Amino acid sequence: MASARAQQIAAHLNCPKGMLHGQVAIITGSGQGIGAETARLFANEGAKVVVSDIDGAKASQVAEEIKKNGGSAIAIPGDMLDDNYINELVKKSADFGSGKIHIIVNNAGYTWDGVIHKTTDKQWDTILALHNTQPFKLVRAAAPYFRVKDGEPRSIVNVSSTSGLHGNAGQANYALAKAGVVGLTKTIAKEWGPAFGVRANTVAFGHIATRLTAAKEEGAFVTTPDGQKVALGIPQAQKAGREAGKDAFKDIPLGRPGTATEAAGAVLALASPLMSSYITGQTLSVTGGRNM
Ligand SMILES: NC(=O)c1ccc[n+]([C@@H]2O[C@H](COP(=O)([O-])OP(=O)(O)OC[C@H]3O[C@@H](n4cnc5c(N)ncnc54)[C@H](O)[C@@H]3O)[C@@H](O)[C@H]2O)c1
């Protein structure tokens, strides 16, 4: 005989209106790249999507597109490095969701690379804050909406990287932060799983084609809270060297980078009760097979 909890979950597995029908999902960094694709896929599966990004124009564009296609979305722009924004994000998301939040995808982030002996305190502190401290604060602020017993699914997906699982030269700050994501995720799973049924999982991406992995010379940048511009991407010479000739991507069994949509598909799979209702505390490598 199935437990009451298992019966409630079973009700959510029958999903003719979409795998995330009626679930309110905050996706940080969803103005572009993997986050934007996650927002679109979630909306296609019936979620009410909160598009959170420091870039207000891009966040609005993603939310408008979703609505034009018949989905439900709201843009709540702001900087994840700002504690006030995190509280505002939770409050406005709960208002949008008629008092409920079901899913958080901690995806916002960027790299600010440097070899160990040249990495500044600011580089170090910013990357740890962005990938660890602030996602923790978001989860903590949203606790009242996750520590509930209303029979509805709750899930957190935190975005990590192969740099966090295996290390990467030039990324001590990012590797530490993305390793930290794994521990945070497992702790949420252990604290909020038993009584509330909250699931928490990590996706660790390999090489996904976004502006983070494009040529640095394309000129994409982010601005830190005190106004410093951080260039994004991989230097063209390094990228060309890596990708030249028949050996391009030879360490990736699928032989190519992933798309943002493919990356988002993995986030959807972990967030969805249909795919993953008995999966928690896990790290899914989405790498085309690299580092298996
Ligand atoms: N692209 C890859 O190969 C790859 C690999 C491993 C992990 N990741 C991780 O995936 C996540 C998404 O990266 P992406 O490749 O889609 O990058 P992206 O630059 O295309 O998108 C990231 C989004 O986050 C937003 N953002 C950055 N800082 C923010 C802040 N302080 N507050 C609010 N929003 C902020 C940006 O404005 C941007 O819209 C990141 O956590 C990244 O570290 C990416």
pLDDT score at 135: 99
Q: Give the pLDDT score at 2.
A: 63
Q: What are the tens digits of pLDDT across the range 41-95? A: 999 999 999 999 999 999 999 999 999 999 999 999 999 999 999 999 999 999 9
pLDDT tens-place string over residues 243-282: 766 678 999 999 999 999 999 999 999 999 999 999 999 9
In the prediction, which pLDDT does 245 show? 65
**Segment among 2-6, 91-95, 183-187 with least mean pLDDT:** 2-6
State residue 238's pLDDT score: 78
Nearest CA to ligand 1 atom 23: 29
Whether residue 200 contacts residue 281, with contact meaning beta carbons closer than 8 Å, is answered with: yes
Pocket-testing residue among 53, 132, 228, 286, ligand 1, by greatest number of atoms within 8 A of Cβ: 53
Using DSSP's 3-state secondary structure scheme, residue 141 falls into helix
CA distance 32 to 232: 14
**Complete domains list, the chain, with CATH:** 4-283 (3.40.50.720)
**CA distances (Å), origin 211, targets 21, 147, 169, 220:** 31, 36, 20, 7
Ligand 1 centroid distance, CA of 8 (Å): 34
Cβ proximity of 225 and 80 under 8 Å: no
- Of the candidates 57, 183, 35, 165, which has an alpha carbon nearest to the alpha carbon of residue 104? 35
The reported pLDDT for the residue numbered 130 is 98
**202-221: average pLDDT:** 95
Q: CB within 6 Å of ligand 1 — which residues?
A: 29, 31-35, 53-55, 58, 79-81, 107-110, 130, 159, 161, 205, 207-208, 210-213, 222
Containing 74, the helix (H) or strand (E) segment is strand 72-75
